[in-house]
Structure 1
């Protein structure tokens, strides 16, 4: 079995913890059976393994999410980077080409595609093997996962199976709640957004748009693929579709309202909450305390990107309000650790300063790089590491300061968990102001 996990989106509905580079699936707000915090993507990856599914797993994502995936899943998982965002059909097409040409998978192999952030029980993942069997046995060209509805929802699409059959009769996209209730009485089930098909099936569809014999040719001609969802481009055009129903816990953790329903604790971070609070969740990523007294049915979330105070039901409408917030991410997770912006000041002469607090994991390193329009000052506040500037290496520890001027090549490696403060000074302080070079640590 081959599994493609779709990891996309900016997660504006979970602002301020999510941003352009830190999507909702990377927020560590859940807990595993041992009580350790984990993100949605870590949970899904763990559950696939725990379901004893022997699968090649490929994560389809954009460049901005690569560091988060590597940080949370490690280097063993395959990652396919989309050249640009073009919806789910191109992402699945590119990943399928990767499986065929880079992983040498046969056209008869079954591919399963699922989102990276479903909240479900282990049987959800065991249902994948039933979908694989449907396609392998030739019951249909494609198999879908249907979710047994728990209420008439207008947020989901519906699958209407044929009577007394596992085959699909038709689809209904996001009906009104009244019509959804009628559909459910007639046997309709939620469309879980999970697909199964043979690899060669999709390769043939891709060749309608690109003449290719390698993964590189598909990637290089990515903009030739239509910018359209997999549902519209493939599913709605296919006549031979079966459905396998999953009965169990399943949630779309796309809003604060639904996410807080599955959180084990009502508070996270430095929080003071009174006993008079009811159904209140407070998540604080700041270094200052938050005190909440006597509230009911609200969520408070604070991060370097902003502060949210919302009625839980109203939180589902958050995206409309934050779509107009255009600022650089103030917190990012990288494969070497993480950083947060703690200060930004513009001065009268056109110069600006930006101050970051960085945490590096022991054994990790930042790439050998230079900047063309800014200087940097690094102050080591905890741990030890090796610093290289223009080829000269020295050991650094708490209290050491390094001055890095425009054009100087520099990198740092953490010999233990390392924390340092970085102050950038220049006329343009952009993450894109970076040129990388080769460097081999001894």
Structure 2
């Protein structure tokens, strides 16, 4: 195929996208042309600011909009996606580079419609598909709080997205396919507490953004909300919140669910990786009533089965015959002193491995990440000095890490498939 033919086809595709986008953008502009403003200017009271600060923590806004070592809410943090890097915006009330000239209506439109003050479409790395459910009153409260943070003059960095994902036309098409502005609708027949938990988990908490699989276009797979998914570019697996074999809590006592969200640890497990950051920055600061509501909602999610795949013993597994004994020796040498010779763990310090569902999940990514890189549960008021896991990546090679993980996945009554050195390389 000649270069001229290729360029011609690219141009035709571009024209088709532009035509479709023009239709979609025109429709969106008609739907979103008017930014609703209150009849009177928003009265920013101390009570409203305090409520907004609380809601901003519930939404974990600072996690993305504060760069490492940077000023709070000044933006600049790069968020890697499969389509390139999106840089979070400056939310401080600085007039020229922040949102100092934004009205409360502008801010609500960004959350509700995914559209900036000047009308351009926002990249859905900003989770407006979830935030569209945030109420206007809550949006106004967050806006009021952001007006009180220290203004920082820091220009927003342009996104580094690949073509065509860096075009407004592509975003318009994406929205037409996968996004529709909405609002939270309380579910009849459910308690006020359940509906509050659903509002927090689906809206401000945007739990589905991580705990759901995504399609090839980066949108949450329809009908699979909360069913677990690999977090794009972070290479951590956010387990299903609706599966008893992964992170479902339907059979947990409610106080244990509340405790996990508040402290990061519970008798049935602890959080690490990206979820540790969520607990540290967000959920530990929520009220007991809101945590209780979230627990009630999460316990009531429709369940689906993701039973761990049994190890296949019908084929020739001569390699496993050497792998598992090697892993047992490595476990005795490096792991048993903390996790126990029978994987029983140490109460209040090191989690048990025997019967631990993270150990036997179909996707071993998180287990590999923890063994390779180590980590800590979050430091919280309820767990101020968490015990951590040292990184074994610098000490053990891929073969040894695969061996010890395979042993753990097949010891103490476990029957999960072994992990190969290639699996370790992919998860590193």
TM-score by length of 2: 0.24
Higher relative CO (Cα under 8 Å, sequence separation at least 6) belongs to: 1
Determine which structure has the larger helix proportion and give its number.
Answer: 2
User: More strand per residue: 1 or 2?
Assistant: 1
Q: Normalization by structure 1: what TM-score?
A: 0.24
